[in-house]
Structure 1
Amino acid sequence: MAKTKTHKFDEKLDITYSQYIKDSMEGEVALQRELEKVLGKEKTHKILREWSEKRTVEGLEKFLKDSGVTISNFEDFKNHMNGMWVSGHTPKTHTCETTNNSSDSVTYKVTECIWAKMMRESDAPDLGLLTMCDMDFISAKVYHPNIKLIREKTLMNGDDYCDFTYVWKKEYEFTGHRNSLS
Structure 2
Amino acid sequence: MSADTIKAKVFRFDPSADAESHYDTYEVPFEEGMSAMDVLDYIYQNLDSTLAYYDHAGCSLGICGRCTGRIDGKPGLFCQTSVDGDVTLEPLSKEKALKDLVIDKDSLGKQRETAAGEQEGPAASDIDTVSTLTRREIEALISVPLIEAFIEEFGREKTLEVVEKAIASLARTAGTALRDVVGGDTLEYFQNKVLPLFGKGGALDVEVLDTTPSRVAFNVTRCRYADMYRKCGLENFGYILSCARDYSLIEGFNPKIKFTRTQTIMEGADFCDFRLSMEDA
With normalisation by structure 2, the TM-score equals: 0.49
Rate the CA distance shift 1:80–1:125 in 2: closer, same or farther, 3 A.
same
1:1-182 map, 5 Å:
7-10=31-34, 22=137, 24-65=139-180, 67=181, 69-71=183-185, 76-86=186-196, 88=197, 90-92=199-201, 93-170=203-280
Rate the CA distance shift 1:85–1:61 in 2: closer, same or farther, 3 A.
closer
| 1:77 and 1:143 in contact (8 A); partners too | no
| Aligned length in residues | 162
**Which one has the bigger strand percentage?**
2
- Computing the radius of gyration over CA atoms, which structure comes out larger, 1 or 2? 2
- Give the secondary-structure state (helix, strand or coil) at the position aligned to 1:8: coil
- Give the secondary-structure state (helix, strand or coil) at the position aligned to 2:33: helix
C-alpha separation in 2, matches of 1:43 and 1:97 = 37
Residue 119 of structure 1: CA displacement? 1.8
Q: What is the aligned-residue identity percentage? A: 18
C-alpha separation in 2, matches of 1:166 and 1:19 = 26
Residue 31 of structure 1: CA displacement? 1.8
| 2:256 and 2:280 in contact (8 A); partners too | yes
**RMSD value, Cα:** 3.1
Residue segments in structure 1 that go unaligned for 5+ positions in a row: 172-182
Residue 164 of structure 1: CA displacement? 0.8
Residue segments in structure 2 that go unaligned for 5+ positions in a row: 6-29, 36-81, 83-130
Rate the CA distance shift 1:23–1:170 in 2: closer, same or farther, 3 A.
closer
C-alpha separation in 2, matches of 1:18 and 1:101 = 25
Residue 57 of structure 1: CA displacement? 1.4
Residue 166 of structure 1: CA displacement? 0.4
- Give the secondary-structure state (helix, strand or coil) at the position aligned to 1:9: coil
| 1:25 and 1:118 in contact (8 A); partners too | no
C-alpha separation in 1, matches of 2:244 and 2:237 = 10
**Which one has the bigger helix percentage?**
1
Residue 120 of structure 1: CA displacement? 2.6
C-alpha separation in 2, matches of 1:20 and 1:57 = 17
With normalisation by structure 1, the TM-score equals: 0.72
C-alpha separation in 2, matches of 1:103 and 1:68 = 17
- Give the secondary-structure state (helix, strand or coil) at the position aligned to 2:263: coil
C-alpha separation in 2, matches of 1:31 and 1:23 = 13
Rate the CA distance shift 1:54–1:159 in 2: closer, same or farther, 3 A.
same
4+ runs deviating over 6 angstroms:
3-6, 16-20
C-alpha separation in 2, matches of 1:45 and 1:122 = 20
Residue matched to 1:180: none
Amino acid at match of 2:148: R
Residue 23 of structure 1: CA displacement? 5.0
Higher relative contact order at CA 8 Å, sep ≥6: structure 1 or structure 2?
1
Identify the range of structure 1 (149-158 vs 162-171) with the bigger mean alpha-carbon deviation: 162-171
- Give the secondary-structure state (helix, strand or coil) at the position aligned to 1:109: strand
